Amino acid sequence: MPSGVYQLPDLPSMCPKKSGNSISPNFQEAKNSYEQWVRENIGYPASIGVANAEMPLLAALAWPRASSKELGAILDYMTMSFMLEELTDRSSSEVTKSLSKLWIDVLKDPRSGKGHRHPFIKLMTNQMVARLKEAVDPFHWPEFIQSNIDFAMNTVQEALDREASKDILATRCITSYMVMRRETVGTRPCIVLMRSTRRLYLSEHVLQHPIVAEMENTSLDMVFLANDIYSFKKELGDNGALNNIITVIQKDPNTQHLDLQERIDHAGKLFQAAMDRFNACRDALPSFGDEETDRQVAAFADGLVDWVLGSIEWSIANHRYRVFVDDDDRKNNILRLDDRWFMSGKFKLLLLLISIVFTMILFLIL
């Protein structure tokens, strides 16, 4: 292939089909309501980043059975986790630790955010957490909080890893990265929300069964591997893709000899291996001696498939990553890195400055 042009693995073809709707029938309603809320509550330019994330599309694709109210609460949570990521993505480990603690404290008890000056903490305190808690089944709320405590802790660890890996020559291990990334991708709390929306009341005993736990973990692996592959172009322009499986493959002593196309291929093989393990677990699910529990475990597996495939569909379609230049490249899984400057932080800053200048000129004219 020409320089700067690469072949991505065809991840959707590796996945099972969704068990029901491809997308929630409540998508448009949730999208309209959410976009109105963003316009009214999140100031410019932060609202641009939120809009570019196209979270209503992800929610409707990954939770295709969620009601309109549930999609609204899911969007509250996704916005909260997105903003934590935005606040900490380039922060030092110390700042990340402080922000993550504040974030989880407010999620656990909105009263802890009273009087805080940060506008987003105010939104969490006054609106978002209450709506979320009202929509989540009380059975699932304690597990949801615990999964977010773990998520916040791993966000700090990611910042520590980011500081340690700024040296492009620093050695990293694929296995240790995958264990960490499984938690920092932020999907485990979303899986708890999935069980809530599907009314799956699985006990800790069932969820911690080795086969069920491995099935969930391999689904998380597929989510982050797909996310890393499809976001690589964007991250390369933002920060050199420091926390991305394709960069980690370059730093692992066992794979550092691979060129970029071979690293992309290797990431695809890791995804296929995770999918194979998921399918093996799904086929080997035991009976728990209760017909209803067995039905719910099977439904849980269906929900995991929906989440993996939904996140892939969103990654391909959303404008934040801009993976493909046109429909032909999308159909053929062609990634072009020769245009990545247009996705860089410098280019986005230039666009912002142009927009501000244009607005000022227009204001003066009027």
DSSP state at residue 259: -
Write out the residue range of the structural domain in which residue 83 sits.
Answer: 5-364
> CA-CA distances (angstroms) from residue 86 to 34, 80, 315, 341?
19, 10, 18, 21
Select from 249, 261, 136 the least CA-distant residue to 199.
136
Q: Cα(first)–Cα(last) distance of the chain, in Å?
A: 52
How many domains, the chain? Answer: 1
Task: Please state, as a whole number, how many other Cβ atoms lie within 10 Å of the Cβ of residue 170.
Answer: 10
pLDDT category of residue 349 using cuts at 50, 70 and 90:
low
Residues whose CB falls within 8 Å of the CB of residue 128, separated by 6 or more in sequence, listed in order: 76, 77, 79, 80
The pLDDT value given to residue 359: 45
pLDDT tens digits for 34-89?
A: 999 998 998 766 677 787 789 999 999 999 999 999 999 999 999 999 888 888 88
- CATH number where 19 lies: 1.10.600.10
Residue 42 is predicted with a pLDDT of 84
Q: Give the global pTM.
A: 0.86
pLDDT at 347 over 90: no
Q: What is the pLDDT of residues 190-243, one digit of tens each?
A: 999 999 999 999 999 999 999 999 999 999 999 999 999 999 999 888 777 878
The pLDDT score that the predictor gives to residue 362 is 40
**For residue 132, what pLDDT band results from cuts at 50, 70 and 90?**
very high
Q: Mean of the pLDDT values across residues 283-298?
A: 97
